[in-house]
Amino acid sequence: MRTDFDGAQLDLYWTFVRGPSTGLYSLSERPGYPRGKGNAATLDDIATPALVARRQQHLHTRIATRIDFAPAGPGQYAGLALRQNEANHYQLRIGGGKAPRRIQLVTGVQGATTVG
C-alpha cells in the first residue's frame, strides 16, 4: 500500500502516540509531503512526540520513504521509527546542524538507548 499524503486529512489508519498530534504536523503547507513540526518529546518519553505512525499489520513487511529534510540546528531529526513502547524502539534518522547531515541508527532496548 502506498500513501501520497495528498488529501486534506490523514486516513484513519494513521495514528499518534497518546492522542492526536494537533499542531505537530501539516498536510497543507506542502501538499504531498507531510511536514513535521517537532517538539522536545522523544520516543523515550511518556509524552506526545511529533510522530505520525501506522501500526504494522503483517509479520513480514517492507517500508520505504523519501525524506526532504534540512536540519537547521542540532537536535533536529527526521526519519522512520519502529516503536513498541517507550523502552523498546528503533529509529533510522537524519540529523545535523552546522555540521554535515548524518544518518543514525538509534536503538532503545529495555530502556537503554544507544545512538550508532
- Three-state DSSP state, 42: coil
Annotate 85-108 with DSSP letters as a single string: ETTEEEEEEEE-SSSPPEEEEEEE
List of residues 6+ apart from 4 with CB closer than 8 A: 32
CA 83 to chain CA centroid, Å, is: 10
pLDDT tens, per residue, the chain with 116 residues = 788 898 999 999 999 998 888 889 999 999 999 998 888 898 999 999 999 999 988 999 899 898 998 888 888 899 999 999 999 999 999 988 767 788 999 999 999 999 98
The answer to whether 87 touches 110, Cβ cutoff 8 Å, is yes
